[in-house]
Amino acid sequence: MAEGSMAAQRVAFSMLSRGGSAAPAILIYHRVLRRRDPLFPSEVDAETFDRQLNVLKSCFTVLPLHEAVELMREGALPPGAACITFDDGYADNAELALPLLRRHGLHATFFIASGFLDGGRMWNDCVIEVVRQAPSGVLDARRLGYGQFSLHSLADRQHAIGVLLDKLKYLPMAQRSVQVRRLAELSDCALPEKLMMSSAQVRQLHRCGMGVGAHTLRHPILARLPLAAAKREIEEGRNKLQQLIGADVTMFAYPNGKPQQDYGAEHVALVRELGFRGAVSTAWGSCRRARDLYQLPRFTPWDRSPGRFLLRLAANMLRRAPMA
């Protein structure tokens, strides 16, 4: 490491020792891109992911998530523990992230929304591509009730994506699908066909020793569903994965994952009753008790510099995560 990164490492270790070892640092990724995407600069490219893995390997004890959960149950988690997770099931996880993980000798758990395998497409990616491919000028979505967006600059397009995602995210799934389809028709753009994993890629992850976790079937906001429907989404999503890999799926990730907003205490109880051994949210911070094993917080790494990445990760471990 460079001198600045070494200094950051010393500060980070000091912070970690004060924070104790009751919980691991859990990183959450979604995609690993071949090159940076200007519309989403926070999504890591392969070069940045490679550097981050090197930092993690040098500074933390990187454990499979399911092992870390069991060690937490026993009160035996080592200091400086960390876990790597991915959400949703993008094909680049298998194509780009997996080779890098194997080269570094590291493990990750991939939480897969199994209803999108083999050619499916998540609604948010449709929105992103509509805005990306729309001609420079204006995207007129007034007939859908979403207003009119200037698209003259990169910042304009980033703003339009953020607004549209926020407006669509909490609609009922059927209504959201209709609105997204109508939005795509407005711009007549070509939507991506192979963003998500194939069944063969899921099996490849498992065969290479990676963890496969459940993320529902179609990635609904659980808090917006009747509890029986939420249970079906969780069970059917897990069953499809178990059939694919021929093994138990014991870890779960709440879609969108904000406590008290995207899921509630009733969903935590449901996940426990369904026999999962642990579950993760998208809340930042750290948990300190074994009863939090069904709401493990996670950290989203966006810093490009290894030193800042390490310091932010260490600081996150000292922050208490909210619970549902």
Are 114 and 127 part of one and the same domain? Answer: no
Q: Which positions ≥6 away from 255 have C-beta within 8 Å?
A: 113, 215, 216, 219, 220, 221, 222, 262
Angle formed at CA 80 by CA 79 and CA 84, multiple of 5 degrees = 130
Q: Domain for residue 260, yes or no?
A: yes
Are 135 and 98 part of one and the same domain? Answer: no
- Do 307 and 291 form a contact (C-beta atoms < 8 A)? no
Are 148 and 102 part of one and the same domain? Answer: no
Are 202 and 140 part of one and the same domain? Answer: no
Are 94 and 206 part of one and the same domain? Answer: yes
Task: Among 132, 159, 187, give the residue marking a domain's end.
Answer: 187
pLDDT for residue 17 = 46
Are 58 and 114 part of one and the same domain? Answer: yes
- Residue 9: how many CA atoms within 13 Å on its side-chain side? 15
Number of domains in the chain: 2
Q: Which positions ≥6 away from 156 have C-beta within 8 Å?
A: 149, 150
Task: Among 187, 213, 238, give the residue marking a domain's end.
Answer: 187
Are 88 and 220 part of one and the same domain? Answer: yes
pLDDT for residue 185 = 87
Q: Domain for residue 130, yes or no?
A: yes
Task: Among 166, 187, 208, give the residue marking a domain's end.
Answer: 187
pLDDT for residue 208 = 98
Q: Domain for residue 324, yes or no?
A: no
Are 148 and 256 part of one and the same domain? Answer: no
In the block, residue with structure tokens 């205490």: 265
- Do 252 and 219 form a contact (C-beta atoms < 8 A)? no
Are 141 and 163 part of one and the same domain? Answer: yes
Alpha-carbon span 187 to 151, nearest angstrom: 13
Q: Domain range spanning residue 83?
A: 3-119+196-317
Query: Is residue 74 within a helix (H) or strand (E), and if so which, with residue range?
Result: helix 65-74
Are 233 and 261 part of one and the same domain? Answer: yes
Which residues in the chain come in under a pLDDT of 70?
1-22, 286-291, 303-304, 318-321
Alpha-carbon span 208 to 199, nearest angstrom: 14
Q: Domain for residue 202, yes or no?
A: yes
Are 216 and 154 part of one and the same domain? Answer: no
- E strands along 167-303, which residues? 211-214, 251-253, 278-280
pLDDT for residue 1 = 47
